[in-house]
Amino acid sequence: MHFFDKRILSATAVSLTLALGACGDGGGGEQTGAETEPEQTAAPADNGARLDAVLAGDHRTSEERARDEWRHPKETLLFFGLEPEMTVVEIAPGGGWYTQVIAPYLKTGGGKLYATGFPPDGASERALAANKTFTQTYVEQPEIYGDVELTYFGEGHHVAPEGAADMVLTFRNVHNWQSRGQAADAFAEFYRALKPGGVLGVVEHRADGAEIADDGSTGYVYTDDVIELATNAGFDLDMASEINANPADTKDHPFGVWTLPPVKRSSAIRGQDDPDFNRAPYDAIGESDRMTLKFRKPIAADGALLE
Per-residue HEC secondary structure of 262-289 comes to CCCCCCCCCCCCCCCCCCHHHHHHCCCC
Residues 56, 62, 64, 66, CA torsion sign? positive
Compute the distance between CA of residue 113 and CA of residue 96 in angstroms, rounded to an integer.
12
Per-residue confidence in pLDDT tens, the chain, 307 aa: 454 443 233 333 333 332 323 333 333 333 333 444 444 444 345 899 999 999 999 999 999 999 999 999 999 999 999 999 999 999 999 999 999 999 999 999 999 999 999 999 989 999 999 999 999 999 999 999 999 999 999 989 999 999 999 999 999 999 999 999 999 999 999 999 999 999 999 999 999 999 999 999 999 999 999 999 999 999 999 999 999 999 999 999 999 999 999 999 998 877 788 989 999 999 999 999 999 999 999 996 544 555 4
**β-strand pairing of 165-171 with 112-117:** unpaired
If one counts every other C-beta atom within 10 angstroms of the C-beta of residue 243, the result is: 20
Report pLDDT digits (tens) over 173-225: 999 999 999 999 999 999 999 999 999 999 999 999 999 999 999 999 999 99
Contact call for residues 240 and 34 (beta carbons, < 8 A): no
Report pLDDT digits (tens) over 77-109: 999 999 999 999 999 999 999 999 999 999 999
Residues 287, 290, 292, 297, CA torsion sign? negative
Angle at 255 between CA 249 and CA 212, to 5 degrees: 60
What structural domains and CATH numbers belong to the chain?
Answer: 6-23+42-249+286-296 (3.40.50.150)
Please tell me whether the peptide bond between 262 and the residue prior to it is cis, using omega within 30 degrees of 0.
Answer: yes
Task: Give this prediction's pTM.
Answer: 0.84
